[in-house]
Amino acid sequence: MAKLFAAIDVGSYELNLGIYEFGQDKMRIIDNVKYRLDLGTDSYSKGKLPADKIEELCRILNEFYRIMRGYRVSDYKAYGTSAIRETRNTRILLDQIEQRTGIHVDVLSNSEQRFLDYKSVASKGREFTQTIEKSTAIVDIGGGSIQLSLFAKDKLDVTQNMKLGVLRLQERLTELDVTPARYDELLEEMIGSQLAVFEKLYLRGRSIDNLIIVDDYISPITWSRTKDSDTPGFVTAERFMAFFTRIREMDPVEFCRRYGIAPENMSQVYIAATLIRSVVSVMSAKTIWAPGVTLSDGIAYEYGERKKLIVIDHDFEGDIIACSRSISRRYMGDDKREQTLENICMAIFDSMKKVTGLSKRDRLLLRIATILHDCGKYISLYNVAQSSYDIIMATEIIGLSETEREIVAGVVKYNHVYMDYDIERTAISGRGEEVYMRIAKLAAILRIANGLDKSQKQKFNAIKASLKDDTLVITVRTNKDITLEKGMFEKRADFFEEIFCVRPVIKQIAKI
């Protein structure tokens, strides 16, 4: 029997409810209910939502609840995005919503949200896989910012957030109070300056074949114009440019009528079109694909992935790892060292599974921590711990929540320095004991792994770890001298033992 799931997106200017059906390893959208409600304006400017907006929000969420009940959904997930995230009283607001509607809303960080958007594109299946076989970029246009991501060899490689959101640009242009004649010029200038930096840092002559667009402005138009074609959602760059010329030259009223756009959205459509045109030009993209997906699609897709309700070909963890490697490269990280460290860490993590209480997700965080473990060296060889921590905290890692990013930063930091017993005094204070313990456990593993490769000569490439009662035996097959490593190991082993009540020991087996 098919299973029904509801995804709710409390967005900045729209509430969205998607009802999804999971059956036969597939996901299908059954219903999509959207309601325009501007939460962003108040949240961004005042940091709070006024009572009437909360009232309206709860009214619609109650309606959503009624619809969900009508479909007899077995589970749901509700997320708030930037408008909720940027309220100062987020906790109070979310509690109010839950009390009044029975719906529990979680808040997504920008990187989580963009990763879900990305998953929504991936939910398109074959079209997605085929598209990313060639060099591809995604531009995800939101109200406050845009996210530009590049693929390399069908993996996400680079992803960067830029404050070029449609509503933000619109607001800036309004503030500047420009005449229509200067409007285009200023808009292109604002977009161009930021894109130039992106181009310099990441593109460096790289050409992009396909551009995937995720937005609420141009995608619906593209979709409606191509839905009856053999390749719905796909247009050539030339066709898009021709469309852009039309939007620029046509009478706005006639344009809205012909393309079915509400006149009040015309300016946003224009800004989004200008953004896409600029990205297409910078990347010399040949094909544009508007899959016409929503955040709700991504929420449902992730749910299906987590509950193993759908068959997924794409390795999303691989994307997060690839992006982390890309960050590491930016700070001159050593690929080989990272790989050795990762191997050791994973061997220890897996052998300790029964006693650590850590999850698969923690395993991923540890992998990221190994990749970024000494990125701070780029800034200071003396103060690696703090520099690494600062870099990670200032860098968005796609797919991770803020807490997860803090965990990675914490693990990297306490790889280099001792952890304070006082939770309050640790840099990750305020995140609670559970987070403290996760950092401590992951840091303990990274610390002994780091100790084992102290010479950074990758002597421990082939290791095995096995847990026997209260001892973790790390078997190293090497003929090399590991005196240094053994020496460094003991101190680190104390911390490890303190955390897990398991004593790690090194057993060297020389190759004959």
Question: Which residues of this chain interact with other proteins, rule CB under 8 A?
Answer: 1-2, 4, 14, 21, 23-24, 28, 30-36, 66-67, 69-72, 219-220, 223-224, 227, 257-258, 260, 292
Residue placing its CB nearer to other proteins in the complex, 66 or 306: 66
Q: With the C-alpha atoms ordered 482, 487, 490, 492, is the resulting torsion angle positive or negative? A: negative
Q: How far is the CB of 18 from other proteins (least distance, A)?
A: 12
Taking the complex as a whole, the smallest distance from the CB of residue 105 to other proteins amounts, in Å, to: 19
Q: Which is nearer to other proteins, 261 or 365 (CB)?
A: 261
Choice between 215 and 404, CB closer to other proteins: 215
Give the integer Cα–Cα distance in Å for 136 and 213: 11
Q: How far apart are CA 457 and CA 481, in angstroms?
A: 11
C-alpha 145/C-alpha 172 separation (Å) is 13
Mapped onto helix, strand or coil, the DSSP state of residue 149 is strand
User: Would you say the C-alpha torsion 448, 424, 359, 321 has a positive or negative sign?
Assistant: negative
Q: Find the shortest distance in angstroms from Cβ 297 to other proteins.
A: 13
CB-wise, 69 or 336, nearer to other proteins?
A: 69
Comparing CB distances to other proteins, the nearer of 127 and 334 is 127
* Nearest C-alpha neighbor of 409 from the set 427, 398, 393, 396: 393
Q: How far is the CB of 309 from other proteins (least distance, A)?
A: 12
- Check if the beta carbon of residue 211 is closer than 8 Å to that of residue 289: yes
- How many angstroms separate the CA atoms of 100 and 55, rounded? 9
Q: Find the shortest distance in angstroms from Cβ 270 to other proteins.
A: 18
Helices and strands counted in the chain (H then E): 21, 14
| Closest CB to other proteins among residues 4, 412 | 4
Instruction: For the chain, report the end-to-end CA distance as a whole number of angstroms.
Output: 59
Read off the DSSP letter of residue 467. E
Pairing of strands 287-289, 146-152: unpaired
- Could you tell me the smallest distance in angstroms from the CB atom of residue 255 to other proteins? 13
Q: Which is nearer to other proteins, 73 or 169 (CB)?
A: 73
Nearest distance in Å: CB 253, other proteins: 14
| Residue 11 neighbours by CB distance under 10 Å | 27
Residues contacting 36, CB < 8 A, separation 6+: 13, 14
Q: What is the largest CA-CA distance in the chain?
A: 83
| Closest approach of other proteins to the CB of residue 224, in Å | 4
Taking the least distance from each CB to other proteins, the nearer of 34 and 172 is 34
Which of 303, 316 has the CB closer to other proteins?
303
Alpha carbons 376 and 385: distance in angstroms, whole number: 7
Q: Indicate the residue among 23 and 50 with the shorter CB distance to other proteins.
A: 23
**Distance in Å, CB of 83 to other proteins, minimum:** 17
Closer Cβ to other proteins, 174 or 231, answer by number: 231
Smallest gap from residue 17 Cβ to other proteins (A): 9
Task: Measure the CA–CA gap between 2 and 73, rounded to whole angstroms.
Answer: 10
Is there a contact between 495 and 411 (Cβ–Cβ < 8 Å)? Answer: no
- Beta partners for 249? none
Gap between the Cα atoms of 470 and 448, Å rounded: 16
Kindly write down the DSSP assignment for every residue of 353-385, as one continuous string: HHHH---HHHHHHHHHHHHTTTGGGGT-SSSHH
In the complex, minimum distance from the CB of residue 126 to other proteins, in angstroms, rounded to a whole number: 19
